[in-house]
Structure 1
Amino acid sequence: MIVKYISKPNSIILAVTPANTDLANSDGLRLARDVDPEGTRTIGVLTKIDLMDPGTDVVDILAGRVVPLTLGYVPVVNRGQRDIDTKKAIARSLEEERRFFENHVAYMSKAQYCGTPYLARRLSMILMRRINHTLPEIKAKIQAALVKYQTELASLGDMLGDGSGQASIVLNIITEFCSEFRTIIDGNSTDLTSFELSGGARISFVFHELFSNGVKSLDPFDQVKDVDIRTILYNSSGSSPALFVGTTAFEVIIKQQIKRLEDPSLRCVNIVFDELVRILTQLLSKQLFKRFPQLKDRFYQVVINFLRKQLSPTNKLVQDLISMESVYINTGHPDFLNGHKAMAVINDRVNQAKNPQPVDPKNRNVANLPPSLEPEPNNNGFFGSFFSGKKKRSGAMEPPPAVLKASGNLSEREQIETEVIKLLISSYFNIVKRTVIDTVPKAIMLNLVNTAKEELQRELLQELYKTEVLDELLKESEFTQNRRKECRKMIEALQRADEIVGSIAG
């Protein structure tokens, strides 16, 4: 416990040691030396001077020749147990102490520097010097604490009255909230941070990173395999095998893939909704709303309900955008690789793979068909490679099975047709993905974000700016009321301390 107090840098240490013991073994001096090695705030007090053996004194100690201290030593003669038991008056004890030092041969020449009264005067002088030394620091700390509590008291506000004052407070809170809400989304806030993205920057990240990359990562062929394309090609031809690559198969597949864009688009809406809720939570964490918990709860409910109401039209608009792309396949789009170009690309690939030898034009047939479309040497029929089965005996004919599924390897023609369809699907799907990446964020901004910026204040005024609910909304929390009282008490105490320090300095 002693160490706890003497360790404080502004404390003055009285190292009390009986004069009739070895000073080098003094526990008081040892503790003082541990916390005050320079000895700048330690004064030695020598007691029991009157109990020393005849012929001995503490002159060497007082002269600093034994254990020197910067502030030196003061010898005193205290009351003994007998004096306490007999209730000897303090004034009489002090008088006897004075006569002891004045009449002692070793101390009479320095009696004015001995005794309890001198120790008290010496301590007062040391205290005043330390106060003057630390006065500027103390004054600065008082001023800083005063400003701190005054600022907090101002943030807590004054006690509220009734009537128009309450309406004005609610109106100002709604106006300030909506202004900060718009500012955070637009990126004009004065509280911009360099540590993390916030507000509108997070929404932009959702659009240009999460949503964009999510849509771009969709691969139409992770679900549609070559065997599926072959089946759709034959199904779309009906009873008459197509002479050319069927556009119906292309449209069936591309519409299926476009529908896949709806899920990430709707998820993007929900993520942006969460980001708006995040901004709401950020604004409601301010001191003003801690003061009025009922108002905070009502703010949260009104804003959340408003944003949820906007979710339905936003989702509908996003779904309509995807439906627009799926109901009309614009094969005339300038960026679309049409069928002729696709066929040419695939034929070039096939020819390069075959690495054909130069052919004499005279040996080509009259039709001059490209090699990829010439009749195949083995006459297995149009469905020859569509499904595989056991070889039948000559002339045998049986009805087809209840379920026909594609199996076996693709023929050259089927391979070419499949590759053409895949090329067309990739070309058009990339066009649609670019369009969706561009239009879905615009739809979300229009129906959700921008509507919240423009209509939220009207909604809050309509729901909260009502005379009948003002008393309930502006009911202060118990914490605010108690904290206001504490701040006022601290301000009064600090102002008195500042006056005292000022008077000492003056």
Structure 2
Amino acid sequence: MQHVDDLQNQAALRLARDADPDGERTIGVLTKPDALTKGAVGNRQKWRDVIEGKSHPLKHGYYCVRLPDDDERKRNLSRAESQKIAADFFEAIAPWNAIADRNRFGVPNFVANISELLVKLIEKNLTKLKEKVQQLLDDCEAQLRLLPVLTMGEPMTEVCSRITQFCADFQSAVFGESHKLELVQPNKRRYNGLKDEIFRTRPNFTTSLIIRDADYVKETSPQPAGPVIDLNHVKQAIADSVGWELPTHVPYDATKNFIRGFTSQWDGLALSCFNDIFATTSDFVQECVRKHFGQFKSFETQVAAIVQHDLDQCRDGTQHTLNDLLLKLEQVPFHTQNTEFFRSQWQFWCQYYHGRSGHHWCNFERTHNDEAIQVMAVVRAYFEVAYKRVIDYVPLTIEHELNQTLAAHFQDSLLNRFLGKMGTPDQMKALLTEDPSLAKKREFLEDRRTRLQQIKRRLEEVRKDVVNGVDDASVEHQSY
């Protein structure tokens, strides 16, 4: 540095301040002091002010070194001879010989002091560096553990093993042994929703005679979805149904029409529930396919196609069972063998619609005087019977015909496909070719882990190397 006046404008100093604002790792070095002429009194004083810390101070101060000139380099002087010339220069020439701190002059002093400073900085920051490297290494290892394990076994064995694991995983989920949050619990919530939806289809009968006190009955939520049906409405429905019945005989058509009013809604509700369950099952199956086969794109694609075929077949079969078998059973004739429950419900609703509290029971064998209330009680009693069986049979049908059937069929479908039509060793090996993007990620992480391990080992050795370097430098410079 020949011009101390330009010190503040030097790019190196600006970079040092940006990288080391606290000055912990910055040392100033003044070079070519022999370039100052005897007449440059002002510049010599500025250099002295810098070295003594009066101008442009740095936390670790400045050093001044004299390097060999062109003539000395031509003479091929030894290091010891060059250091002797520099030492004599600083001892004989003003203002250097007047500066009290003699450790600020010459390359040997600079090397020794900077080495000691380096050791201190390393001791201060080495622990943090090692912790940071270990954290990066742990993160890298964690990401590698998330990757699927590379297959090392015989290809056909590996293919069979993955198919078996996939099928066992799905089967255990279907029967509630695993993945409960992903399959069983969402399905149960949807079936509970179906229960509420069907309960809302109950006929909304009412009479001015109903007394709803705390000791009797209260309709529970959710409230009926249909319009209010009062006594006059029921009486009109009976009148509209009269044919050649004898007097006092209540036409059965009136009862059937009210029953058909709620049972006709159950097809749509049941199929809506099934569609939701099917969507949940499909999503879960696809996630299982990704989990077990996603490492191998070709394998995953072919498995997904087979699984989708089975899903479609089971969907159609379950819809057929719901439509043509189960829900048709709730159409004419309206019938139940559960006569004891029906009788108790009929008596209960007779009493309810008459608004009587206490324990009065109607006589099932004799016709009630009020025909409308009799129809209301019969219809509501039949609703209770049919409602209870439907809210059980729809979920059971879906679970048996869809989920359990899939669990039973997947393994046969997959093994027949891959061991029957694609059973050659080359085809098995091709199935187990890792997805290129996954292979690239694995290669990157393994390379990163190797480099971090190397850095970790080097950090464990670096302090010893630096300390040995300081000791060697001290011995070397003492010999000058």
Fold equivalence (TM over 0.5): yes
Please say if 1:312 is aligned against 2:316.
Answer: yes
- The answer to whether 1:179 aligns with 2:137 is no
CA RMSD of aligned residues (A): 4.3
Instruction: Tell me how far apart the structure 2 counterparts of residues 281 and 165 of structure 1 sit (CA, whole Å).
Output: 26
Output the CA distance in 1 between the equivalents of 2:400 and 2:449: 51
Q: Could you say which residue in structure 1 is the equivalent of 2:383?
A: 429
What are the within-5 Å matches in structure 2 for residues 21-420 of structure 1? 36=20, 38-46=22-30, 49=33, 50-51=35-36, 53-54=41-42, 56-66=45-55, 68-76=57-65, 100-108=89-97, 110=101, 112-115=103-106, 118-119=109-110, 122-146=113-137, 149=140, 155=147, 157-158=149-150, 165-185=154-174, 188-189=177-178, 197-208=181-192, 210-221=193-204, 222=226, 232-240=237-245, 242-286=247-291, 289-319=293-323, 320-326=325-331, 327-330=333-336, 332-336=339-343, 346=353, 417-420=371-374
For 1:292, give the aligned amino acid.
F
Which amino acid letter does the alignment assign opposite residue 328 of structure 2?
Answer: S
- Which residue matches 2:214? none
Q: Is the 8 A contact 2:341 2:385 kept in 1?
A: no
The number of equivalent residue pairs is 413
Q: How far 1:292 moved relative to its partner?
A: 0.4
**What displacement does 1:321 show?**
2.9
Letter in 2 for 1:40: E
Gaps of 5+ in 1: 1-15, 350-369, 374-415
Question: What's the offset of the Cα at 1:100?
Answer: 4.6
Moved more, 37-46 or 48-57: 48-57
Match of 1:456 in 2: 410
CA distance in 2, matches of 1:201, 1:344: 39
Q: Given the alignment of the two structures, is residue 440 of structure 1 paired with residue 445 of structure 2, yes or no?
A: no
Task: Return the alpha-carbon distance in structure 2 between the equivalents of residues 263 and 198 of structure 1.
Answer: 25
Quick one: which amino acid aligns to residue 166 of structure 2?
F
Partner Cα distance (1:323, 1:33) in 2:
86
Q: Which amino acid aligns with 1:329?
A: H
The answer to whether the 8 A contact 2:322-2:397 is kept is: yes
Partner Cα distance (1:158, 1:344) in 2: 72
> Could you say if the C-alpha distance between residues 46 and 305 of structure 1 is closer, same or farther in structure 2, counting changes exceeding 3 Å?
same
Q: What corresponds to 1:467 in structure 2?
A: 423
Measure how far apart 1:266 and its partner are: 1.8
Residues 73, 246 of structure 1: alpha-carbon distance in 2 compared, 3 angstrom cutoff: same
- Counterpart AA for 1:53: V
Measured against aligned partners, the alpha-carbon deviations of 1:226-256 in whole angstroms (never above 9, x if no partner) come to 6875565345321446523333321233134
> How far did 1:60 drift?
4.5
Q: Extract unaligned runs of 5+ from structure 2.
A: 205-225, 357-366, 465-480
What's the CA shift string for 1:120-143, capped at 9, x where partnerless?
A: 554444444433443344444445
Does the 8 Å contact 1:156/1:291 carry over to 2?
yes
- C-alpha distance in 2, partners of 1:339/1:312? 39
Q: Distance in 2 between matches of 1:89 and 1:121?
A: 28
Shift of 1:165: 0.9
Letter of the 1:441 counterpart:
P
| Aligned counterpart, 1:390 | none
Q: Which residue of 1 aligns with 2:471?
A: none
Distance in 1, matches of 2:442 and 2:348, equals 79
* TM-fit CA distance, 1:219: 4.2
Distance in 1 of aligned mates of 2:335 and 2:75: 112
Matching of residue 480 in structure 1 with residue 434 in structure 2: no
Structure-2 change in CA distance of 1:341 and 1:76 (3 Å): closer
Whole-angstrom distance in 1 between the partners of 2:4 and 2:74:
24
> CA 1:258/1:30 → structure 2, altered by over 3 Å: closer, same or farther?
same
Query: In 2 relative to 1, CA 77–484 (structure 1 residues): closer, same or farther, beyond 3 Å?
Result: same
Provide Cα deviations, 1:182-203, integer angstroms capped at 9, x if missing partner.
Answer: 44445554x88xxxx4332212
Do the aligned partners of residues 480 and 332 (structure 1) sit closer, same or farther apart at CA in structure 2, a change above 3 Å counting?
Answer: closer
The separation in 1 between residues aligned to 2:200 and 2:349, in whole angstroms, is 23
Q: State the distance in 2 between where 1:156 and 1:17 align.
A: 63
C-alpha distance in structure 2 between counterparts of 1:147 and 1:344, whole Å: 73
Shift in alpha-carbon separation, 1:116–1:21, aligned structure 2, 3 A: farther
Give the distance between the partners of 2:10 and 2:435, measured in 1 at CA. Answer: 57
Distance 1:492 1:347 in 2: 85
- String of CA shifts for 1:22-61, please: whole Å, max 9, x gaps: 86x8887677567645432232344675546346154444
Bigger shift: residues 461-470 or 441-450: 461-470
Residue identity (%): 22
Kindly state the Cα deviation for residue 502 of structure 1 after the two structures are TM-superposed: 3.6
